[in-house]
Chain A
Amino acid sequence: AQSVTQLDSQVPVFEEAPVELRCNYSSSVSVYLFWYVQYPNQGLQLLLKYLSGSTLVESINGFEAEFNKSQTSFHLRKPSVHISDTAEYFCAVIESNFGNEKLTFGTGTRLTIIP
């Protein structure tokens, strides 16, 4: 069965510093991977995804994540964070077997940017 682990429940970072939010998954088959973000008082929205192809995927606001099959990881990074990046970030996985639509989420990482 698929599962996701986000080891860090809270990550405080100074503004303009780099950040990495860790995500590890477990699955016996190939997977698709996602990062969703929840800004304060807003609903969850898709940040970026890996379905196939290049293992490095990017979002429009400067985040990137790299699929590492050998380490079963999909860590999220940004070289320089902004106050507006304050949010809760959820990693999610879905097994690629036909008919499976069950997206499994991690427990989330709350990113706090310190001015």
Chain B
Amino acid sequence: GAGVSQSPSNKVTEKGKDVELRCDPISGHTALYWYRQSLGQGLEFLIYFQGNSAPDKSGLPSDRFSAERTGGSVSTLTIQRTQQEDSAVYLCASSLAGGIRHNSPLHFGNGTRLTVT
């Protein structure tokens, strides 16, 4: 079956512009996660959704970052006024209801590589 789909796969933008990154989770997965992977860094947690609600937004780096999820499915991560330090691979993952703690592994997309020039 289809896995987690992210678009675009690559995005180059100028400093100061806004960008939107999209994630289509696996059908039926109610839990959705956004992570960021920078060069030489581990995966940095950004935000977690259960359905359309985001019980944990603790990882969003600044108020320039926001995310929403509609219909319990597609999620969009928006970065406003991009900065060069925002350059990274943004990964989306989904899991079944109950999430990680209930024995449901994360299924990752291939990510969006964002380059801010």
Contact = CB atoms under 8 A, between A and B. Distances in A.
Interface of B: 3-4, 31, 33, 35, 40-45, 48, 50, 55-56, 58-59, 91, 93, 99-101, 103, 105-111
B105 A94 contact: no
Interface string A9-37: 00000000000000000000000101010
A7 B93 CA distance: 25
Interface of A: 4, 6, 32, 34, 36, 42-46, 49, 51, 90, 92, 94, 96, 99-108
B33 A103 contact: yes
A71 B38 CA distance: 29
A47 B58 CA distance: 27
B108 A45 contact: yes
Contact of A107 (B42, B50, B93): B42
B42 A4 contact: yes
A100 B3 contact: no
B55 A99 contact: yes
16 contacts: A4-B42, A32-B101, A36-B108, A43-B109, A45-B108, A46-B105, A92-B43, A99-B55, A101-B31, A101-B55, A101-B56, A101-B100, A103-B45, A105-B45, A106-B42, A107-B42
